[in-house]
């Protein structure tokens, strides 16, 4: 099956409008220094022309943002149906006594203006934890937000969820399923678990595929496991993380209700969207200068592959070495060694590659001679690929991360104030 | 029972000699820039006048340094008896094809010069992984090393295990057990799992207590769990970590062979030594400017307390916030929330304190108003204490770490070359 990359982000699928505005939650004094900067937007919306079937996964942190609680409740009430997303940045609406009330209020405001039910609204917030969310800017902003909704509003919406993100993150693809051309689009914010204070990593996915709620949730669970959950920026798990998919059936394909070729095609397309958003998140990790992709091959099962690959991209020490362009393979081997998985370390091979070449650094668990000159060349790239082979099976998986830099420390050393 | 802090490090207990020399494993060009610098030493030794009963714990990393393998074998051969420790810095002798052979050679060299058996020697190495250990410097250095052994050589030995450590780490106490005055002394290197490439965190403990091997191992296991294993610098688990205790019976106390008051006294004294070495390691974390101690109280059991306290000191984001002197309690709550333990997040209280004062930042899982001015004052200290209360029981535990700074990134960004 061919999967074609297309423009349009969350508006690429048929029947989805979006918009983003500046309503005044972000400080004008800071965010208007460059009034043209797209991330001055702080209130965003996605709306489907018709009812959507939804699936979502949420943070596993015991501290859950109020919007997560309200969204979960809403999807339970409606049996996983929704029409719209409302989302603000700059304030996570988490750890506040009135958090749930405010999140419900956001749903009510959106619902009233869109003439739908409050429980048909998915609500999300991203920003500082533990500061009361000012509702007035949202009350004022909701009318212009809805008035400006359009089938090409995806960029305004993507800008409205940015916090310290330096670039908007959107991706969309076109593919075939059930006799129709279908589309999946997505937008994301936050570079992994980069800011518990800019607390949220949000991923909104839209699709015009016709699919049952059960199969949609099943696909999302499978793909989250090998994309978004394989992303490590700093190991912190934030309070407001959410990935949700809305499917509005506008592609008029034969409904996907069970496993089979159509479902596999849908999952393959969903993987492309979520994997590419994951890579964008890794690349835009706070202060990051290099994206790291680690693939672990030759594993007895996928879980082993995921565990080992994540251990490497999560190693603070290896992240520093990548920043320093130091071919410090001992740190890779060390991180492989403490991964909680069963395998023979004496069979492990490691290679490092980039657009500038490839070097073998470890065979059978021991170092091999390599040219430091060549290694330095390989590590100059801003995309570093580590390939591990456990030589113990046929399964593989990838994980993504970024280097650890002075700027990460700077950004996080004094974020809140 | 009174526990008195005394001088002398590993030579504080009766009957232990030590020494350290520069034999040429470290680069003279670098290490002799300041020839007076104590850490130019790269070969160290501890010797007991009589046979010791030993206990040890080792890294759980699958990649194990060759010295770990050889030490384990030796202690198995002798039934946990030993007479001496030989240790080098600058090279971890790990991931090398000839690692075990070289580590055994170190034991032989030491044994020959000391006129003991090779299997009575505990061997350890700390330094870069995957570089062949040059044995010639050790062959040449062994005679002067042994010739210089003395009952006051503890500082030279402590210097010989330093890598990027900025200070020597020694601690010793005196206490009573079994009708005698007894002593425990220790030295340590490496700030937690700071360098997989300067790979080792080594802790050597000596004591003149008379105690059975079984009770010694039991005491070490208990105390390691609440001291050294509660230390987090960067989350990496190194390949060569080892803590060993040698007990030579020179205090002539009634032998400790079972649980009871003497055993408890011994454990309390061992805790003092290992806890204070742990704090020194935290304080000297790479690039660290502040030590962080997190105490988790009010827990249903000790494991919960340990898990939660470690999660907080291990949070990269909180570590950055401490560096930035930002009272970012949301990050503490976030780290509590993702700790793998069972408790009600809505009962959690958090306070931050230092020599400059104390502030309550969170009650019942939600933020409370506090003076930012006061908070800034509290955070100016170089020792920051976080007190968490789960309000769910009577157990507590502490964990230690340090802030994450520009210098950490600098040190680890280009360590190897």
What DSSP assignment string belongs to A66-83? HHHHHHHHHHHHHTSEEE
Nearest CB neighbour to B330, from listed A62, A196, A323: A196
Q: Which of A367, A388, A346 is nearest to B92 (CA)?
A: A367
H-type alpha helices, A201-328: 213-226, 261-283, 302-313, 316-323
β strands within B39-159, DSSP E = 43-58, 81-91, 121-128
Q: How far apart are CA B297 and CA B309, in angstroms?
A: 9
Q: Which of A214, A188, A288, A240 is nearest to A68 (CA)?
A: A240
Q: Sort out which chain B residues have CB atoms less than 8 A from A362's CB and list them.
A: 95, 130
Strand A349-354 with A202-207, pairing: unpaired
Q: How far apart are CA A73 and CA A183, in angstroms?
A: 28
B residues 136..195 contacting A (CB < 8 A): 194-195
The residues of B annotated as belonging to the active site are: 200
Residue-level pLDDT at A176? 95
Count each helix (H run) and each strand (E run) in chain A, helices first: 12, 15
Residue-level pLDDT at B200? 59
Residue-level pLDDT at B327? 86
Burial letters B49-76, b for 16+ CB under 10 A, else e: eeebbbbbbbbebbbbbbbbbbbeebbe
Mean pLDDT score of chain A: 90
Is there a contact between A43 and A138 (Cβ–Cβ < 8 Å)?
yes
Tokens of A107: 């749903």
Q: How far apart are CA A333 and CA A345, in angstroms?
A: 9
Share of chain B above pLDDT 90, in %: 69
Q: Sort out which chain B residues have CB atoms less than 8 A from A320's CB and list them.
A: 408-409, 411-413
CB contact under 8 A, B413 and A196: no
Q: Which of B269, B277, B272 is nearest to B231 (CA)?
A: B277
Helix, strand, coil shares, percent, chain A, to 5: 35, 30, 35
Phi, psi angle pair for A176, to nearest 5°: -115, 140
Residue-level pLDDT at B195? 36
Phi, psi angle pair for B46, to nearest 5°: -125, 135
Residue-level pLDDT at A409? 82
CB contact under 8 A, B334 and A130: no
**In the predicted model, what is the mean pLDDT of residues B96-102?**
91
**In the predicted model, what is the mean pLDDT of residues A402-416?**
77
Q: Flag whether pLDDT at B102 surpasses 80.
A: yes
Helix, strand, coil shares, percent, chain B, to 5: 35, 30, 35
Tokens of B271: 């805790």
Q: What is the pLDDT of residues B318-359, one digit of tens each?
A: 898 899 898 888 889 888 988 889 999 999 999 999 999 999
Tokens of B57: 């714990």
A residues 381..410 contacting B (CB < 8 A): 404-406, 408-410
Confirm whether A200 is a catalytic residue. yes
A residues 1..40 contacting B (CB < 8 A): none
Cα–chain center distance at B142: 26
Residue-level pLDDT at B191? 60
Residue-level pLDDT at A196? 37
**In the predicted model, what is the mean pLDDT of residues A250-254?**
97
Lowest average pLDDT, out of A82-96, A148-162, A222-236, goes to: A222-236
Q: What is the pLDDT of residues B7-52, one digit of tens each?
A: 999 999 999 999 999 999 987 655 444 545 555 899 999 999 999 9
A residues 325..344 contacting B (CB < 8 A): 325-331, 333-338, 343
Q: Sort out which chain A residues have CB atoms less than 8 A from B406's CB and list them.
A: 406, 409-410
How distant is the Cα of A175 from the closest Cα of chain B, in angstroms?
38
Is there a contact between B89 and B161 (Cβ–Cβ < 8 Å)?
yes
Q: How far apart are CA A242 and CA A275, in angstroms?
A: 16
Tokens of B159: 């210097």
3-state secondary structure of B275: helix
CB contact under 8 A, B239 and A334: yes
Phi, psi angle pair for B126, to nearest 5°: -140, 130
């Amino acid at each position: 099956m061919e999967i074609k990359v297309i423009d349009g982000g969350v508006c690429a699928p048929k029947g989805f409008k979006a918009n983003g505005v500046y309503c005044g939650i972000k400080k004008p004094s800071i965010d208007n220094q460059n009034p043209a900067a797209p991330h001055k937007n702080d209130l965003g919306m996605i709306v489907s022309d018709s009812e959507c079937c939804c699936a979502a996964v949420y943070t596993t942190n015991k501290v859950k943002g109020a919007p997560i609680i309200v969204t979960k409740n809403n999807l339970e009430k409606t049996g996983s149906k929704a029409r719209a997303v409302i989302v603000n940045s700059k304030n996570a609406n988490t750890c506040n006594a009135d958090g749930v009330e405010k999140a419900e209020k956001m749903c009510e405001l959106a619902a009233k203006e869109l003439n739908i039910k409050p429980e048909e609204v998915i609500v999300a917030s991203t920003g500082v934890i533990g500061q009361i969310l000012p509702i007035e800017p949202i009350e004022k902003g909701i009318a212009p937000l809805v008035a400006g909704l359009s089938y090409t509003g995806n960029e305004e919406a993507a800008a409205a969820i940015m916090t310290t993100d330096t670039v908007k993150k959107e991706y969309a693809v076109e593919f075939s399923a059930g006799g129709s051309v279908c589309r999946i689009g997505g937008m994301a914010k936050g570079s992994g678990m980069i800011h518990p204070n800019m607390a949220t990593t949000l991923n909104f996915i839209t699709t015009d595929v016709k699919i049952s709620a059960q199969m949609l949730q099943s696909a999302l669970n499978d793909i989250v496991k090998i994309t978004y959950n394989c992303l490590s920026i700093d190991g912190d798990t934030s309070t407001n993380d959410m990935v949700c998919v809305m499917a509005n059936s506008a592609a008029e394909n034969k409904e996907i209700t069970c496993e089979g070729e159509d479902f596999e095609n849908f999952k393959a397309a969903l993987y492309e969207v979520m994997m590419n958003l994951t890579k964008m998140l890794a690349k835009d990790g706070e202060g990051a200068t290099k994206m790291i992709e680690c693939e672990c091959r030759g594993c007895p099962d996928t879980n082993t592959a995921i565990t080992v690959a994540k251990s490497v991209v999560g190693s603070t020490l290896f992240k520093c070495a990548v920043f320093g362009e130091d071919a410090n393979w001992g740190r890779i081997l060390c991180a492989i060694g403490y991964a909680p998985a069963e395998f023979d370390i004496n069979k492990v091979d490691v290679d490092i590659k980039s657009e500038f070449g490839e070097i073998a650094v470890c065979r059978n668990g021991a170092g091999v001679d390599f040219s430091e000159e060549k290694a330095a060349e390989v590590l100059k790239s801003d995309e570093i690929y580590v390939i591990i082979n456990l030589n113990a099976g046929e399964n593989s998986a990838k994980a993504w991360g970024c280097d650890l830099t002075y700027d990460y420390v700077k950004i996080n050393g004094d974020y809140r104030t």
